Structure 1
Amino acid sequence: MPQASSQPPQKGILGRIERVGNALPDPVFLFLWLILGLVVLSIVASLAQWQAFHPTEIDEATGTSRVIAATSLLSGDNIRRLWVDMPVTFTHFHPLGYVLVVMLGAGVAERSGLFGTAMRGAVRHAPKALLTPFVALVGMIGNLAADAAYVVLVPLAGIVFHAAGRHPVAGIAAAFAGTSGGFSANLLPGQLDALLFGITEAAVETVFGEFTANIAGNWYFIAAMTFVFLPVIWFVTDRMIEPRLGAYDPARAGNAPTGDNPDKDLTPAERKGLKLAGLAVLAVCALWTYFTFGPGTPLIDEEASPEARLTPFYQSLVAGFFLLFLLAGWAYGKAAGAIKDHRDLVKMMAGAMEDLAYYLVLAFVAAHFVAMFGWSNLGLILAVNGADFLGGLGLPAWALLAAIVLVSALLNLFVGSASAKWALLAPVLVPMLMLLGLSPEMATAAYRVGDGATNIITPLMVYFPLILIFCQRWQADFGLGSLAATMLPYSMGLLVSGLLLTVGWVMLDLPLGPGASVFIDVPVAVQP
């Protein structure tokens, strides 16, 4: 992978963001420091006798809400739990299972070339008048392919724009805005949904006990984000960024690609692979439809209450996406020649697990942070007291969620990992909002809006240096500040439009996904 060239120190707010962010430890060690701070806070809270009334549990002896007191993490029980339950704490971290299962399939789709070829074919056939929105849309959908969208689509967009007589950097900017700024926008749930809702599930269970996350719980919302963000990226690219860039000057190019031809047709093998992959997707969808509505309805609980009948279907979606990616990638790879036999398939699945090595390390420390937060009872105490405080302010629901969007966007400037930030915020935010009548799905949706909007302006975003290199291929003097300034209008546009979408969604009380609403019934308990 190309490395960023040396850049002069940045001044102003971007320079301060870069310096502060670079001073932060790696997210793994950030969680370790947070765990140490949590231990100290739990000791102080225990000595100060912090407590709260449990919102859902009744003390049978008194008939009133059970009192929950802060517990020191250095108590005998918690020390024993830390060392004895360490394997269980790690392996029972909900995002871990969700992500590993989905990535087993997605890794095959990526390594077989399905994702890259699908993006190339889609962009190549884009009408020139609709080139910008088409590139942005492919970027947002391309997030299903994880990193492939950055390394395939973004440089390709520059080539396609150049071939259309437009400034290549404008194409790179539009693709980067769609892929990274629209990180959570998509037409289908995918890997990110599995990751975030796993963390949401763990956060709910720290206070309210057993809870099953629905990874399609933001489906309608993220689909709406896609169509809201598209005109924003289109307008910013065509009306603001490209006029600012001016006419493309080849004399200012660095090592601009000359051998790539975006009009080159896909090979017969690639075309056949895409057709077979499409048939595989249809087959999986048909299979899930049969399981849901066919004889026996195994994915419907006929004996459950009406609102819980589809719970098995929602729980099966992780396996459904695994199978969809796996079979589509296998079908494409077999036709395109990337998969010769079953050994190649197994090797690709193993490679996907290798790519998750860093995530496994991060998940280990995040799992213990979330678990220890629950053991200390601080999550419940902060959630209850925070809910009482916010309830006393009388703020409308849309204002609370708008604040979460803005906090997420600000925090994203310094901590790039979506999962790391949500693992930090969710244990307090999710239960607190539930006590105010807002669903876990709505809390997750608000976080996602803020998390994506500032991805494209922080130098700490892991692909920021790579995007800079892509721009410098076409304009050698394009620096870090140039990229940040180019992407700032996109960031502001996506943040404002995302805020308006969130506020409007809450005010209209629209469903966030199948079986997921904005509001829930507040857990009720008898107070003394």
Structure 2
Amino acid sequence: MHRSTVSSDGMSRLYRLLAAVERVGNRLPHPFWLFWILSATLAVVSLALATAGVSVVLPNTGETVAVRSLLSLDGLAFAAGSALENFAGFPPLAVIVVVLLGVAVAEKSGLLAALLRLTVVRLPTRLITFATAFAAMTAHVMSDTAYLVMIPLGALAFRAAGRSPVLGVMVAYVSTAVGFNASPLVTPGDGIRTALTTTAAQTVDPNHVVTPVALYFFSAASSVFLALVITIVVETVLAKRPDLDGDVDGEGEGVGGLALTALERRALVRALATLVVIVAAVVTALAVPGSPLMGDHGSVVRSVVITNIAVFLSFTFAAVGLVYGRVTGTIPSISAAPPVMIDGVRQIAPVIVLFFAVSQFLAYFDWTGIGSLVTVEGADLLHALSAPHWVILVAIVLAISVLNLVITSGSAAWSILAPVLVPMTMYIGMAPELAMVGFQIGDSVTNPVTPMNAYFIMALGYVQKYRKDAGIGTLMSFTVPIALAILVAWTAFFLLWYALGIPLGPGVDVR
């Protein structure tokens, strides 16, 4: 039997429900094939609607859009003739590849892991939970690699503080998963989501651009808020469990010791100096009168630096990573950087393969006119219901949090939902960035409780290093309370932010 003391009927029913979700989810095809199945379904639906002569009038332009059949000669010609353009022009593709070129260098050099270790070790022992949780928020800049760094780091940090390493694993895993879309830094995920949102928003307003920093104020504030909520739940509920005196003889491999060596500290200082020089150079270039880097009418928000921030982020990560790597010897020369970048891109090969299928589906969705039909009819339904915007936002959060139990890939889910959700909300007077916030919350909160999350099993494996008889129920008994608390607290935080009218990011009003 597991040592978990959670055995109430309610929790048992929850475990059975999650087990059912796991069984259903395991029967779903690979996302690559899922999008082709959706494309085939779209083709059949477009044929039926085109045969029936269905059309819709766009409220923003008055243009009439008739549904076109993908199963026609015109449709087949479009599908064959636009395939390469659809893929090459898919906005998230370039963004994620460019950003990861730099992030790969910073990660391989050991710089990012060193920063996380410094974040944890600098704070007093009594703040170890908050330090670990906030470090996880910062680690989101490494995308999924954050799990690989944070989970062993959490065990090490808690053992060093004389606390249960099992609890450390739980805090690190849940913090990384439940707040995956909140960070004090701009992450590759921000680039993917905002590129998809821009494409969807431009079906309504061709001039609307959503930059990777569009939600920065909210995301940065959320990272601190979520770390606090996680700390409160852990310290008041989970840390008091009587079953935390488990096996503590497991190994804490993965990131090395917590304390930084003298060499690592010297490397961090030089990397920080490099960062300061780069930032100063960019600010100086922007400050030059008539600088071509500035946007129209001297707008910083529309400047080349912000609208193409992926390029600047990649260069910055690569530069500071090279400096750190040269000092520590992890990247001994500039010539060693390209292989590291290649390895970084190789790690996202599955995402690139998925993007090919996603890009075709989205192109078909737009060409057939079904996207316009769904968004306009959906907007009319919302108008008829006369629901306040905050009610719609809560509904978006709840619906996506349930969907995320099965489809845990945020980029895949947003690829499907953005073309419908973003224009629909724009038609009822809501900013497209609001729809993205609602998605990001719902897409995060259920990450740690679903077995469909690939890192769920990895986290369980680390728990079993310290507690040999741990099982899925053990992990869920820790993750479910935090996930539920975050769902309520983060949604309330979002509604308060909306009510106060605080900008979501630079130049992005919440209303």
Name the TM-score class by shorter chain. Answer: over 0.9
Q: Are residues 1:198 and 2:195 paired?
A: yes
Q: TM-score scaled by structure 2?
A: 0.93
Q: CA deviation at 1:505?
A: 2.1
| Matching residue within 43, 46, 51 for 1:42 | 46
Q: Residue 241 of structure 1 aligns to which amino acid in structure 2?
A: L
| Matching residue within 449, 458, 465 for 2:450 | 458
Deviation string for 1:177-198 (max 9, x for gaps)? 2211110111122211101111
Deviation string for 1:152-203 (max 9, x for gaps)? 2211211221232211111111111221111011112221110111111222
Alignment correspondent of 1:131: 128
Q: CA deviation at 1:504?
A: 1.6
Gaps of 5+ in 1: 1-9, 58-64, 520-528
Q: Residue 351 of structure 1 aligns to which amino acid in structure 2?
A: D
Alignment correspondent of 1:221: 218
Q: Is the 8 A contact 2:401 2:444 kept in 1?
A: yes
Q: Residue 73 of structure 2 aligns to which amino acid in structure 1?
A: G
Q: Is the 8 A contact 1:52 1:69 kept in 2?
A: yes
| Matching residue within 358, 377, 380 for 1:385 | 377
Distance 1:48 1:311, change over 3 A: farther
Distance 1:289 1:382, change over 3 A: same
* Aligned partner of residue 442 in structure 1, secondary structure: helix
Q: CA deviation at 1:332?
A: 0.8
Deviation string for 1:345-372 (max 9, x for gaps)? 1111111111121111011001111111
Alignment correspondent of 1:426: 418
Q: CA deviation at 1:11?
A: 5.2
Q: Residue 46 of structure 2 aligns to which amino acid in structure 1?
A: S
Alignment correspondent of 1:182: 179
Q: TM-score scaled by structure 1?
A: 0.90
| Matching residue within 238, 244, 247 for 1:241 | 238
Identity of aligned residues (%): 32
Q: Is the 8 A contact 2:371 2:420 kept in 1?
A: yes
Alignment correspondent of 1:231: 228
Alignment correspondent of 1:5: none
Q: Using the alignment, how far apart are the partners of 2:434 and 2:281 within structure 1?
A: 30
* Aligned partner of residue 216 in structure 1, secondary structure: coil
Q: Using the alignment, how far apart are the partners of 2:474 and 2:243 within structure 1?
A: 14
Q: Are residues 1:66 and 2:63 paired?
A: yes
Deviation string for 1:355-402 (max 9, x for gaps)? 121111011001111111000111111111111110111111111111
Q: Residue 186 of structure 1 aligns to which amino acid in structure 2?
A: S
Q: CA deviation at 1:302?
A: 4.5
Q: Are residues 1:326 and 2:318 paired?
A: yes
Q: Using the alignment, how far apart are the partners of 1:256 and 1:92 within structure 2?
A: 48
Alignment correspondent of 2:7: none
Of 508-517 and 256-265, more deviation after overlay is shown by 256-265
Alignment correspondent of 2:98: 101
Deviation string for 1:435-460 (max 9, x for gaps)? 11111211111100111100000001
Q: Are residues 1:288 and 2:282 paired?
A: yes
Q: CA deviation at 1:264?
A: 5.9
Deviation string for 1:55-99 (max 9, x for gaps)? 233xxxxxxx22111111123222112111211100100111111
Q: Residue 282 of structure 1 aligns to which amino acid in structure 2?
A: V
| Matching residue within 16, 22, 45 for 1:12 | 16
Q: Using the alignment, how far apart are the partners of 2:497 and 2:320 within structure 1?
A: 34
What do you get for the CA RMSD once the two structures are aligned?
2.0
Alignment correspondent of 1:375: 367
Alignment correspondent of 1:52: 56
Q: Using the alignment, how far apart are the partners of 2:90 and 2:141 within structure 1?
A: 22
Of 467-476 and 281-290, more deviation after overlay is shown by 281-290
Q: Is the 8 A contact 2:155 2:252 kept in 1?
A: no
Q: Residue 275 of structure 2 aligns to which amino acid in structure 1?
A: V
Where does 1:109-508 land on structure 2 (aligned, <5 Å)?
Answer: 109-209=106-206, 211-250=208-247, 256-257=250-251, 265-303=259-297, 310-508=302-500
Q: Residue 409 of structure 2 aligns to which amino acid in structure 1?
A: S
Q: Is the 8 A contact 2:301 2:507 kept in 1?
A: no
Gaps of 5+ in 2: 1-13
Q: Using the alignment, how far apart are the partners of 1:245 and 1:198 within structure 2?
A: 47
Q: Using the alignment, how far apart are the partners of 1:295 and 1:346 within structure 2?
A: 36
Q: Is the 8 A contact 1:186 1:226 kept in 2?
A: yes
Q: CA deviation at 1:43?
A: 1.0
Q: Is the 8 A contact 2:152 2:252 kept in 1?
A: no
Q: Is the 8 A contact 1:167 1:245 kept in 2?
A: no
